[in-house]
A and B are shown apart, each in its own frame.
Chain A
Amino acid sequence: MMDNQIQNADIYTLSPHHRFQWEEAQSSYVILFPEGMVKLHGGAGEVIKRLDGKATVGDVVADLKATFPDAENIEKDIIGMYELALSKTWIRKV
């Protein structure tokens, strides 16, 4: 279980064979992979967009807080998105 705990210093990136892109027709970000796709609403896409293989979880949280200063209590949501993405194997730890 420890493996799935998201730590501030961890760095994540998109899993191999997964693609993240903006879809104009749906006005949303999507993740594409063999046999499937997921559509990411607003904030979820903002998290995945920041996974460049260099930014730590802490960096992503700080950046999102700075970008969306009015959003309340977003750290919990961001970690939640990491956990979801990891459990679905959309992302992997670098």
Chain B
Amino acid sequence: MTQASLGESVVQKTIHATQTQNNGVAASVTQTQPLWLLAEVTYRCPLHCAFCYNPTDYDKHTQNELTTEQWIQALRDARKLGAIQLGISGGEPLLRDDIEDIVVEAKKLGYYSNLITSGVGLTEKRIQAFKDGGLDHIQLSMHDITEEINNFITNTKTFELKKKVAAMIKGHGYPMVLNVVIHRYNIGHMKEILEMADALGAEYIELANTQYYGWSLVNRSQLMPTKEQVDEAERITNEFREKSGSKMKIFFVVPDYFSDRPKKCMNGWGEVFMIVTANGDVLPCHSARVLPNMQFPNVKDTDLGWSWKDSPAFNKYRGDSWMKEPCRTCSEKENDLGGCRCQSFLLTGDAEAADPVCSKSPHHHLIEQAILDSRNPTIAAQPIVFRNDKNSKKIIAGELKDRVDEFHALP
């Protein structure tokens, strides 16, 4: 799965516009609703991307996937709670042969549905079925303009295929939505990547700077670009944006390690996002299972409404009453709600600590050290641990310890 929707690209605003009528609806709707449902339908994936944020122990969840009927029920229940944007993701969702059924049901329920895919497994027959079934758009991951980097970072030979799939998406009248995860190996090609997207007729492109969870955390020192590279990439993006006008919408997801304030992760815990994982766990964010002493609900045995509204897990970090110093009395706490709980725990061992990205965090040196490590030739020369079943099994078995030991949970 790509790093598309980790928070920054979310556009969810309330427009207070004209007063042409006085029915006064909704000015005071504050009760949270899971507007976005991300269905991570499988963790199986034909690609082996080094930056994948799926859990490194995903191999545990490849044999107990929800059935078609269970997915359809989850879609119905989430829709009743107000979910409206549906992302069908993974792993590679196309490895399941029931995506067509899920799409039809999504349309029937009134979702705006999005297939988030690597393109592997997308055929003329399947895309036609998606079109007929009412799928609204397809988000395709691209990796680089060069075959060499594409094939290296995904650990597969998929370069030519991605170009074919892009043409297929366009050919079926779908908006072209590209997601490119940015890291050390492609950040120098920003201009060329944008030109490629333009040439493919993309309406939207997300330049998602790698955030460090799952496999990308294990490979952090190998993937992280320098601050200078990030600044240059942003400059090129802005320049391109000015020139191309509004034709292609470009989202530049800022890498939090180089900011001095954390991201408002998931737009707030349990505020607008709900994730159902391949095995049915219901999560407020992709990596929530790294947190200690948390029991996440599962659609196999609990009602989604209870999971969202009443489960202890979803209520644990809602709002700001859980905060400690320096967040609790921080004048900026509403801006970022203390950042990311998972990042705090993974790096500091305390889920309630301020996100160490914040320069006010007493743990900020951990981020500075990570940046230094990524520039240390000896550390950066360690091999990439690619996301594949073999490596996942190794990590579950406690091998590769030297790569995960510094973190307070298995990434």
Contact = CB atoms under 8 A, between A and B. Distances in A.
Interface of A: 16-17, 19, 21, 23, 25-28, 30, 32-44, 46-47, 64, 67-68, 70-71, 74, 77-78, 80-81, 84, 89
Interface residues of B, number: 44
Contacts of B35: 37
Contacts of A35: 4-5, 9-11, 114, 139, 177, 204, 206, 251
B10 A77 contact: no
Nearest to B33: A25
A26 B17 contact: no
Nearest to A47: B18
Interface stretch (B80-88, B192-200, B219-227, B347-355): B80-88
Contacts of B10: 35-36
A12 B381 CA distance: 57
B17 A44 contact: yes
B21 A42 contact: yes
A70 B18 CA distance: 14
A74 to B, nearest CB: 5
Contacts of B81: 25
B107 to A, nearest CB: 11
A64 B18 CA distance: 11
B85 A37 contact: yes
A39 B16 CA distance: 9
Contacts of A89: 246, 249
Given A17-B137, A42-B24, A36 B175 contact: no
A81 B175 contact: no
B21 A81 contact: no
A28 B26 contact: yes
A36 B17 contact: no
Nearest to B81: A25
Nearest to A16: B175
Interface of B: 4-5, 9-27, 29, 33, 35, 80-82, 84-85, 110, 112, 114, 136-137, 139, 174-175, 177, 203-204, 206, 246, 249, 251
Contacts of A26: 26, 29, 33, 82
Contacts of B27: 41
Given A41-B14, A42-B20, A34 B25 contact: no
A84 B175 CA distance: 22
A81 B114 CA distance: 28
Contact of A39 (B15, B175, B249): B15
28 contacts: A16-B175, A17-B174, A23-B82, A25-B84, A26-B33, A26-B82, A28-B29, A32-B84, A33-B112, A34-B137, A34-B175, A34-B177, A35-B9, A35-B139, A35-B204, A37-B84, A38-B14, A39-B12, A41-B25, A42-B18, A42-B24, A44-B16, A46-B21, A47-B17, A47-B20, A68-B22, A78-B18, A80-B17
Given A17-B175, A23-B84, A42-B21, 10 more contacts: A27-B26, A35-B114, A38-B13, A38-B15, A39-B15, A41-B15, A42-B25, A42-B26, A74-B20, A78-B18
B103 to A, nearest CB: 15
Contacts of A64: 20
A68 B33 CA distance: 31
A19 B24 CA distance: 23
B363 to A, nearest CB: 32
A10 B23 CA distance: 28
Contacts of B4: 35
Contact of B17 (A21, A41, A71): A41
A44 B110 contact: no
B19 A39 contact: no
Contacts of B13: 38-39
A39 B272 CA distance: 13
Contacts of B18: 42-44, 46-47, 74, 77-78, 80-81
A2 to B, nearest CB: 16
A88 to B, nearest CB: 9
Q: For B16, B20, B27, B81, which residue has the most chain A Cβ atoms within 10 angstroms?
A: B20
Nearest to A79: B18
A47 B13 CA distance: 18
Contact of A37 (B20, B112, B137, B177): B112
